[in-house]
Amino acid sequence: MKKYEFLYKVMFSDCDPAKIVFYPKYFQWFDIATQKMFNQAGLEWSKFWPENDLAGLPIVDASATFKGPARMDDELIIESWIAKCREKIFVVNHRIIKNGAVIVEGKEVRACVKQDKSSEKGIKAVPLPEEAVRMLTK
């Protein structure tokens, strides 16, 4: 399993009045980490989506377990990896680490979709391109 990391310093705007990170921010960071993971693998979304005729990689489920707080000015490591790749969905796991300890574990379940005008939703799920899976996981 290939892991990707990026560093983040908690800003005041990430926090509630007690200067503790407001929990929805973690989900925003997961989303950013997933895009950074694709970018680091050489699959920048601004090119990858049009080259593969994709409408996007929407989140269909997300969850997190909070084990400890992060506060303003904390320096965090956000670690992400593809945990599973099934037919038309893939799972991205995330860990947020502060001072060597995991403070949040999270997961996004994402679909790979193309536009489909014949569908009521306007999109249809398709497999993530095999080359992308290889680049993200090897």
Instruction: Tell me which of 3.10.129.10, 3.40.50.2000, 3.40.920.10, 3.40.50.720 is the CATH number of domain 4-137.
Output: 3.10.129.10
Q: Tokens in use for 21? A: 């990170």
pLDDT along the chain (138 residues), means of 10: 96 95 98 98 97 96 98 98 95 98 98 92 94 94
8 A C-beta contact, residue 69 and residue 21: yes
pTM given for the model = 0.94
- Residue 119: its pLDDT value, please? 86
* Sequence ranges of the domains in the chain: 4-137
- pLDDT by residue (tens digit) across 62-102? 999 999 999 999 999 999 999 999 989 999 999 999 999 99
Compute CA distances 57 → 13, 91, 113, 135, whole Å.
27, 11, 6, 16
- Residue 121: its pLDDT value, please? 87
Compute CA distances 32 → 38, 61, 122, whole Å.
10, 16, 25
